[in-house]
């Protein structure tokens, strides 16, 4: 993976343009690669598979950044940190029902973004 770290970072950096976001997305990419390596099939090159994961993860980061602040926080807390809706409500000073609604609206917006921004 050391051979791919810098090239993948620069690939992501060109898509998200902010260093901190590119670092985060690169880290997420390599976590996903590590967790998914058993799903890799030799029908495509390892390099292409890694770049596909990196592209999709950077695209996800771009989609998240289009959300309003509360939806962005809610999505990140649920998707990445796996907090319950009650915990998210505490963090965002809202209710569990509002946290759940924010998460589902955010998820739908992200899906729409991912489907319409190739």
* Alpha carbon distances (Å) from 5 to 45, 68, 81, 106: 16, 31, 24, 30
Query: What is the pTM assigned to this prediction?
Result: 0.75
pLDDT digits (tens, 9 = 90+) for 44-102: 899 999 999 999 988 888 899 999 999 999 999 999 889 999 999 999 999 999 999 99
């Amino acid at each position: 993976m050391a051979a791919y770290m810098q090239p993948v970072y620069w690939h992501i950096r060109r898509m998200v343009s902010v260093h901190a976001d590119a670092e985060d997305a690169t880290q997420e990419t390599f976590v996903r690669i590590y967790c998914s390596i058993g799903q890799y099939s030799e029908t495509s090159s390892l390099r292409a598979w890694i770049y596909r994961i990196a592209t999709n993860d950077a695209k996800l980061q771009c989609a998240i950044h289009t959300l309003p602040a509360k939806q962005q926080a809610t999505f990140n807390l649920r998707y990445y940190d796996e907090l319950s809706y009650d915990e998210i409500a505490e963090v965002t000073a809202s209710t569990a029902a509002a946290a759940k609604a924010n998460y589902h609206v955010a998820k739908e917006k992200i899906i729409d973004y991912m489907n319409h921004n190739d």
